[in-house]
Chains A and B, each alone.
Chain A
Amino acid sequence: MTLPLWLVPALPLAGFFLCLFFGRRLGKAFVSAVGVGSVGLATVAAATRLIPYFSGDEGPLVETLAPWIRAGNFSVDLSLRLDPLSALMVSFVTFVGFLIHVYSVGYMKHDETDAGYARYFAYLNLFLFAMLVLVLANNFLLMFVGWEGVGLCSYLLIGYYYEREYAAAAGRKAFVVNRIGDFGFLLGMFGLFSLFGTLDFDSVFATAAADPNRYAPGLTLVCVLLFLGAMGKSAQFPLHVWLPDAMAGPTPVSALIHAATMVTAGVYMVTRCNVLFRLAPEAMGAIAILGAFTAIFAAVIAIAQNDIKKVLAYSTLSQLGYMFLACGVGAWVAGMFHVVTHAFFKACLFLGSGAVIHALGGEQDVRRMGGLARKLPVTYRTFLIATLALAGIPPLAGFFSKDAILAEVFAAHRQLLFAIGLVTAGLTAFYMYRLVSLTFGGEFRGSPEKAAHVHEAPRSMTVPLVVLAFLSAVGGFIGLPAVFGERASWIAGFLAPVLAPVRFPGAEGAHHLPHSTEWLLMGISVTVALLGLLVAWKWYAKDGGRTPALIAARFPALYALVSDRFRVDEFYDAVIVRPFVWLARVLWKVVDVLIIDGVLNAGAFVVELVGDSLRFLQTGNVRNYALTFLLGIVALLLFVMGGAP
Chain B
Amino acid sequence: MTARLVFDVAAGLAILFAAVMVVHRHPVKSVLALVVSFFALSVAYVMLSAPLIAALQVIVYAGAILVLFLFVLMLLNVPEEVRQKSGRPIHHTLSALAIVVFAAVLLGALRAHGATNAAPSTSPLTGEVAPVARLLFSEHLLSFEALSILLLAALVGAFALARREGRT
- Taking Cβ atoms with an 8 Å cutoff, the residues of A that contact B are 623-624, 627, 630-631, 633-634, 637-638, 641
Contacts and interface: CB of A to CB of B under 8 A. Distances in A.
Interface string B83-109: 000000001001100110110011001
Interface string B102-138: 1001100100000000000000000000000000000
The secondary-structure label for the interface of chain A is: helix
Closest 6 CB pairs of A and B: A630-B98, A637-B105, A634-B102, A634-B101, A627-B95, A631-B98
Contacts of A638: 101, 105
Name the interface size band of chain B: 10 to 19
B99 A630 contact: yes
A544 to B, nearest CB: 106
Contacts of A633: 102
Contact of A634 (B91, B105, B109): B105
Contacts of B98: 627, 630-631, 634
B57 to A, nearest CB: 26
A623 B91 contact: yes
Nearest to A623: B91
A630 B95 contact: yes
B102 A641 contact: no
A641 B109 contact: yes
Given A627-B95, A637-B105, A638-B101, 14 more contacts: A624-B91, A627-B91, A627-B94, A627-B98, A630-B95, A630-B98, A630-B99, A631-B94, A631-B98, A634-B98, A634-B101, A637-B109, A638-B105, A641-B109
Nearest to B106: A637
Contacts of A637: 102, 105-106, 109
A171 B98 CA distance: 79
Contacts of A623: 91
Contacts of B105: 634, 637-638, 641
A631 B105 CA distance: 13
20 contacts: A623-B91, A624-B91, A627-B94, A627-B98, A630-B95, A630-B98, A630-B102, A631-B94, A633-B102, A634-B98, A634-B101, A634-B102, A637-B102, A637-B105, A637-B106, A637-B109, A638-B101, A638-B105, A641-B105, A641-B109
Contacts of B101: 634, 638
Nearest to B94: A627
Instruction: With a 10 A CB-CB cut-off, give which of B91, B98, B105 has the most chain A CB atoms.
Output: B98
Nearest to A626: B95
Contacts of B91: 623-624, 627
Contacts of B95: 627, 630
A633 B101 CA distance: 11
Contacts of A634: 98, 101-102, 105
A624 B98 CA distance: 12
